């Protein structure tokens, strides 16, 4: 198990997450800086993912609709293979695994 050998016994966190994807930078920044939206934010995953408190999801949805956002129920997550087409700027902060050199 290469992953176990590579990481040792590192702790990880795993739990349910409610994500809001805002791909338009001005809209995303407005939500991040909005005092009225702050109580709903549990976190931010750059560049376009906002984490919403699960217990405030319905309130966040209602507020977004009042603010004029059209809410799509699907997130359209890119597949891991899509990383190949991402630009370098989008990969900042995401470690890349290097392929082992042949013969080792």
- Record the pTM: 0.67
Q: Which domain holds residue 44?
A: 17-73+80-91
Query: Does residue 36 lie within any of the structural domains?
Result: yes
Residue 11 lies in a domain: no
The C-alpha atoms of residue 57 and residue 54 are separated, in whole angstroms, by 5
pLDDT band with cut points at 50, 70 and 90 for residue 32: very high
Q: Which of 24, 54, 56 lies closest to 39, judged by CA?
A: 56
Say if 10 falls within a structural domain.
Answer: no
Q: How many structural domains compose the chain?
A: 1
| Burial of 44 from C-beta contacts in 10 A (0-12 / 13-18 / 19+) | middle
Mean pLDDT, the chain, rounded, equals 80
The DSSP 8-state label assigned to residue 102 in this structure reads T
Residue 59's pLDDT is: 97
């Amino acid at each position: 198990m290469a992953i176990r050998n590579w990481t040792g016994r590192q702790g990880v966190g795993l739990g349910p997450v409610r994500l809001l994807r805002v791909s338009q930078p001005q809209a995303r920044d407005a939500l991040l800086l909005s005092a009225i939206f702050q109580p709903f934010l549990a976190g931010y995953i750059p560049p376009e993912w906002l984490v919403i408190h699960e217990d405030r999801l319905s309130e966040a949805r209602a507020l977004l609709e009042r603010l004029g956002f059209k809410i799509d129920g699907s997130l359209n997550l890119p597949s891991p293979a899509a990383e190949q087409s991402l630009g370098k700027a989008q990969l900042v902060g995401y470690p890349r695994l290097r392929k082992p050199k042949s013969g080792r």
